[in-house]
Amino acid sequence: MFLKKYRIFAVLALCLILSCTGCSKDLILDGYNNLLHFTSQFALTPKKNLQGEKTEGSDTYTGSYTANYENFSGTEYLFGGTGLIREKGNDLTVTYKLTADSGSVRLYQTRGTDEQLIADTSASDTYILSLTSQDNYIAIECDDFCGSLQISIK
């Protein structure tokens, strides 16, 4: 009970401080958006842990990745992030080529808690990905997978 009252007091104090400092709503939203973009980069698989070579683009949403998998099991979060809006626009062009020789694979994108399958067999395609104001990631999930992936997001 004490902690609940303390949280309410802290939130009210923060609101009072922000209203007294003259911060505009846009400035607060921009700060929150920047915080989301910054913290969401830590959800991506670190470059040193990736099975392939990643070339980063202008932000965490863009770049290219090429990998040859040999009996790999695991999930790699390749590109993406979280934010209210993306400075360079919310539409991205995704081009990929997935070659599946053996094992199982799922190339997918997340939007919040929803997952949308991109490919789970050998395939190649180009499509437009529209980002939403929630988690947006491109990931590959493998189980004893042998094959390759080439993906480019601009």
- Condensed to tens digits (0 to 9), the pLDDT of residues 70-119 reads 999 999 999 998 876 777 888 999 999 999 999 999 999 998 889 999 99
Average pLDDT over residues 144-149: 98
The pTM (predicted TM-score) of the whole model is 0.77
Residue the block writes with tokens 């609940």:
4
144: left (phi over 0), alpha (psi -120 to 50) or beta: left
The whole-angstrom separation of Cα 120 and Cα 107 is 6
> And the tokens for 84?
């209210």
Cβ-contact 65, 149 below 8 angstroms: yes
**Contact (Cβ atoms closer than 8 angstroms) between residue 122 and residue 100:** yes
